[in-house]
Amino acid sequence: MRPRVVVADDNPDVSLQLVSVLRIEFDVVATAKNGQLAIECVRDYNPDIIVLDLEMPILNGIEVTRELRKAGPTPAVVICSVQSDPEIIEAAQQAGALGYVFKMRVTRDLIMAVRSAAVGEPFISSS
């Protein structure tokens, strides 16, 4: 059975790109356009992995990751962002994200990041 993934990004074009890349190997079960909806999708669809935009309305990717961790067992988290600041990457990891993918490297790195997250391994795009 293919791992189940939720994608959350407020930009519809980016969301479509993420979904099209992921559908090669994963079942994308839902998409969300803000952090609050991402949390609801996790509750409703029980995915194995969630791919979160760092900067979304209502709750950003790091805030969503923290909220999911508070709730108990959660899907593995992969953050996608244009930000390559090491402090932001570290904050994402400290919140509980296993993966961090630079948006300019999505087509090359996203599948590897989600595969790694699915088995509990960290992945960070190289700059």
DSSP for residue 99: E
CB of 29 within 8 A of CB of 5? yes
Which of these CATH numbers, 3.30.70.100, 3.40.50.1820, 3.40.50.2300, 3.30.930.10, describes 4-124? 3.40.50.2300
CA distance 85 to 13: 24
Beta bridge partners of residue 2, listed in sequence order: none
Q: Tens-of-pLDDT digits for all 127 residues of the chain?
A: 899 999 999 999 999 999 999 999 999 999 999 999 999 999 999 999 999 999 999 999 999 999 999 987 789 999 999 999 999 999 999 999 999 999 999 999 999 999 999 999 999 998 7
CA distance 106 to 111: 8
